[in-house]
Amino acid sequence: MFDVEIFSKTARGRAEVSDRTLGLTPRLRSALILVDGKTPLGQLSTALAMLGDPKEILRQLRKLGLVESDYDLPPMPEFPQMMSMDEPTTMMEL
């Protein structure tokens, strides 16, 4: 995790704040409410530290699918080779 990483609630996380269907502990519910999609991890960690270990709290919320990070990128697609081996690949080969 990086200090500039931004965590935001997933659709499931937003639903949990309003519906309370998962029966989160007060600590996790408070942490979920603090995740706003704007606050960098460095500042969020300071607020979460009042509730426990920030990394562990975020790990639990992620595991439940309630929060996601802007660093959670999908895997890169694999592209077939776009150039034939007969074509020059550098200016030096031209």
Task: Calculate the alpha carbon distances from 91 to 53, 81, 82, 84, 87 in Å.
Answer: 53, 19, 17, 16, 11
Q: Is residue 75 predicted with pLDDT exceeding 70? A: no
Token pair 């606050």 in the structure block, residue: 39
Q: Is residue 2 predicted with pLDDT exceeding 80? A: no
Q: Is residue 85 predicted with pLDDT exceeding 60? A: no
d(CA 37, CA 76): 24
Per-residue pLDDT reduced to its tens digit, 16-49: 999 999 999 999 999 999 999 999 999 999 999 9
